[in-house]
Copies of this chain bind each other. A is one copy, B any other.
């Protein structure tokens, strides 16, 4: 999993007025292979139903990770949906216990401070990749500390052997800097969710990542 590449965080609130499923459909058509479904304002039932529907769009084409709600991931999986893992943060369940309950699913963790990355290194055997950011300030997540910048991101990739996916107001134009900075992927919310054409924006992001090889 050294290279995750272009990665969509399909944050339901950011997709408005389009449906989240429409955005995911465009992203899959545009070649995005990593999609994280994030639903902060929905009930567990709504999140679960959305996960089932999203999995029908991504099955066989992209990894579909569930943000935070490991129970939603487990439920969708139990219902036969092609969900492939979870992405959790520092305020969620500890990664080792998360690994115990998700089994062999993909486990991504947000970690950006020195302390959090060093802890992740101690837990590296149960983690598949790190989400590192925010590279730039973003309205999507308001609880982030000072933006890291592209240099700050590159520095953090030297602190760990885990694949690091850059996130936080990054765009296709950052693909070269992220990749040369040791990044394993480039995750976006608004660059696809709010694009005029999510499919075209996705294809552009995928192409930019490939071109930066």
Contact = CB atoms under 8 A, between A and B. Distances in A.
A94 interface: yes
Q: State the main secondary structure of chain A at its contact with B.
A: helix
Interface size for chain A: under 10, 10 to 19, 20 to 34, or 35 or more residues?
20 to 34
B48 A75 contact: no
A45 B75 contact: no
B79 A45 contact: no
Interface in A73-97: 74-75, 78-79, 90-94, 97
Given A71-B70, A71-B74, A43 B92 contact: yes
A177 interface: no
A69 interface: yes
7 contacts: A45-B90, A45-B94, A48-B94, A70-B74, A70-B75, A71-B93, A75-B97
